[in-house]
A and B are shown apart, each in its own frame.
Chain A
Amino acid sequence: MPNLTSIPAFELKGSLTTLMVLHLFKSDQEAITVQLADKVAQAPQFFQHAPLLIDLQDLGEPHLSALDLTHLVELLRKHGLVPVAIRGGTDPQKQLALNLTLGILPQNSRSESREKPQIEVESEPVILNTSAKIISHPVRSGQQVVALQGDLVVLSPVSHGAEILAHGHIHVYSALRGRALAGVNGDTQARIFCQQLEAELVSIAGQYQINEGLPHHLQGKAAQIFLVGEELKIEAL
């Protein structure tokens, strides 16, 4: 039997190497698609099999939460680039990156202020000290709304295939048909309230229940969802 431990088979070392970094400034898939195709067309060989870091640190809200990371990675791979890791981004995006087998680099504290291309898209005035994010348009299939701080209040329907997440409570004053995840950072006191419970999935601080597990008599009714210990409770309002 060969000696498996005494002769070193490898060596792990840190090394400094140049890595191409993709700094994102906006989440507009269409613009990214068009501009990336242009860029790659200029030097197709250069971009072939080139490892790439996706940097989300320059991406402000609402672009950050609107960014479809899966789509971006697919797009980059289509052009022959090899995304290896992300830097910055929200927690769900970091989780997504891991699922896409990308690494996560720590945020770097940069002092230089990068010159950003002018963004012509609206940047709505953001009031920072409000504790709740209020959404008054329908949340459609495929859309995701995240309230990173505090509560999320939705005044219109949340469709099948849509996802809403909040640090705190979630209120839906209409039909909740998609997924709702409250207390995403682990707040076990967070609750979900909705006027019409038809959710695909509800979750509080990671404890979840799928539609099939919702009490039959509460389907389509006003309900609240909260945690008692480890157990998810679903009750009529």
Chain B
Amino acid sequence: MSTVIVVTSGKGGVGKTTTSAAFATGLALRGHQTVVIDFDVGLRNLDLIMGCERRVVYDFVNVINGEGTLNQAIIKDKRVDSLFILPASQTRDKEALTLKGVYRVIEALKKRFEYIVCDSPAGIEHGAIMAMYFADEALIVTNPEVSSVRDSDRIIGLLSSKTHRAAQNLDPVKEHLLITRYAQKRVTKGDMLSAQDIQDILAIPLLGIIPESKSVLQASNSGVPVTLDKASDAGQAYLEVVARFLGEEVSNSQKKGFLSHWFGKK
């Protein structure tokens, strides 16, 4: 059984692509066959973050249009064995994604992969709907900031109405809240919403909190998913998120302290 996970937010710049890359890498590091798809057709950033931009020959839209095969388009990561990337097209726009085409590609990927991570574009339009349509689970990436929280709320509403699970009356898409760019100092000062405030508004289960970290920008710029940076606090937080997603209790006492630290304060 494979699982389709959409990484979505509504708002742009909150860390969807960073999360998609880090999360997919984390799943692959745990030995799961994982592919991450860039749905941001026309902007194509995931390959940069994953450091494979110079190896793109065929892309997602080529596969949908039958101009190339899936095997030609999928790029194998050089660092992690079971990690693959399906890049977006730079030259097309999001209208090139059709429901039928996306369905075909995802069904084909399900034969090979355990986890299919869909990196959604920002917004609530066609591209974002295509990315979420076939999802079984969703990571809602939210910054501790009012506009991001409101956009996430909107996206959660769409997840319950604009997906195949909603259309076919299946179990709803399983939602996970992921708070990124969290800075405890600024929360304490009252500049930022607290994790508790965000949870009160969005009312979905919290999967994890990723601290604001310089290592994220460094990792992006050097094309390394932040989960591969052992020294990065954000990378470690993403690994915890992956563990929790896989249903494990995160038992590391230091990490527990780290989390209860967030939750302790309101």
Interface residues, chain A, CB within 8 Å of chain B?
28-30, 33-34, 66, 120-122, 137-138, 140-143, 156-157, 159-161, 175, 177
* B99, B153, B156, B200: residue with the most chain A Cβ atoms closer than 10 Å: B153
The A-contacting residues of B in range 141-162, CB under 8 angstroms, are 150-151, 153-154, 156-158, 160-162
CB of A30 within 8 A of CB of B156, answer no
Beyond A141-B157, A157-B203, A177-B201, is A29–B150 a contact (Cβ under 8 Å)? no
Instruction: Specify the chain B residue showing the minimal Cβ separation from A31.
Output: B167
Give A177 to B201 CA distance when docked, in angstroms.
9
CB of A161 within 8 A of CB of B153, answer yes
List the A side residues contacting B167 at CB < 8 Å: 28, 120-121
* B99, B124, B161: residue with the most chain A Cβ atoms closer than 10 Å: B161
Beyond A121-B167, A140-B157, A159-B153, is A30–B129 a contact (Cβ under 8 Å)? yes
CB of A159 within 8 A of CB of B126, answer no
B150 contact from A33, A141, A143, A175, Cβ within 8 A: A141
Give A30 to B98 CA distance when docked, in angstroms.
11
A141 contact from B129, B133, B153, B160, Cβ within 8 A: B153
Instruction: Specify the chain B residue showing the minimal Cβ separation from A121.
Output: B167
Give A18 to B85 CA distance when docked, in angstroms.
53
The A-contacting residues of B in range 134-185, CB under 8 angstroms, are 150-151, 153-154, 156-158, 160-162, 167-169
Instruction: Specify the chain B residue showing the minimal Cβ separation from A177.
Output: B201
Beyond A122-B169, A137-B160, is A161–B99 a contact (Cβ under 8 Å)? no
Interface residues on B, range: 20 to 34
CB distance from B129 to the nearest CB of A (A): 6
The A-contacting residues of B in range 93-145, CB under 8 angstroms, are 98-99, 124, 126, 129, 133
CB of A120 within 8 A of CB of B168, answer yes
Give A75 to B108 CA distance when docked, in angstroms.
32
CB of B153 within 8 A of CB of A34, answer no
Query: Is the contact region of chain B dominated by helix, strand, or loop, or is it mixed?
Result: helix
CB of B126 within 8 A of CB of A29, answer no
List the B side residues contacting A30 at CB < 8 Å: 99, 129, 133, 162
List the B side residues contacting A175 at CB < 8 Å: 200
Interface residues, chain B, CB within 8 Å of chain A?
98-99, 124, 126, 129, 133, 150-151, 153-154, 156-158, 160-162, 167-169, 200-201, 203
CB distance from A155 to the nearest CB of B (A): 12
8 more CB-based (< 8 A) A-B contacts, given A159-B150, A175-B200: A33-B126, A34-B98, A122-B169, A142-B154, A156-B203, A157-B203, A159-B201, A160-B150
CB of B157 within 8 A of CB of A29, answer no
Give A19 to B201 CA distance when docked, in angstroms.
47
CB distance from A39 to the nearest CB of B (A): 15
List the B side residues contacting A120 at CB < 8 Å: 167-168
Give A140 to B156 CA distance when docked, in angstroms.
7
Q: List 5 A-B contacts (CB under 8 A).
A: A30-B129, A141-B151, A141-B157, A159-B150, A159-B201
Give A160 to B161 CA distance when docked, in angstroms.
18
List the A side residues contacting B169 at CB < 8 Å: 121-122
List the A side residues contacting B168 at CB < 8 Å: 120
Give A199 to B150 CA distance when docked, in angstroms.
14
Which 3 A-B pairs give the minimum distances between C-beta atoms? A140-B157, A141-B153, A141-B154
CB of B162 within 8 A of CB of A29, answer yes
Give A194 to B79 CA distance when docked, in angstroms.
54
Give A99 to B167 CA distance when docked, in angstroms.
30
CB of B129 within 8 A of CB of A140, answer no
CB of B157 within 8 A of CB of A143, answer yes
Give A28 to B158 CA distance when docked, in angstroms.
11
Give A28 to B98 CA distance when docked, in angstroms.
16
Give A161 to B152 CA distance when docked, in angstroms.
12
CB distance from B255 to the nearest CB of A (A): 30
CB distance from B46 to the nearest CB of A (A): 24
Give A115 to B203 CA distance when docked, in angstroms.
42
Instruction: Specify the chain B residue showing the minimal Cβ separation from A124.
Output: B169
CB distance from B174 to the nearest CB of A (A): 14
Give A141 to B150 CA distance when docked, in angstroms.
7
CB distance from B199 to the nearest CB of A (A): 11
* B99, B133, B167: residue with the most chain A Cβ atoms closer than 10 Å: B167
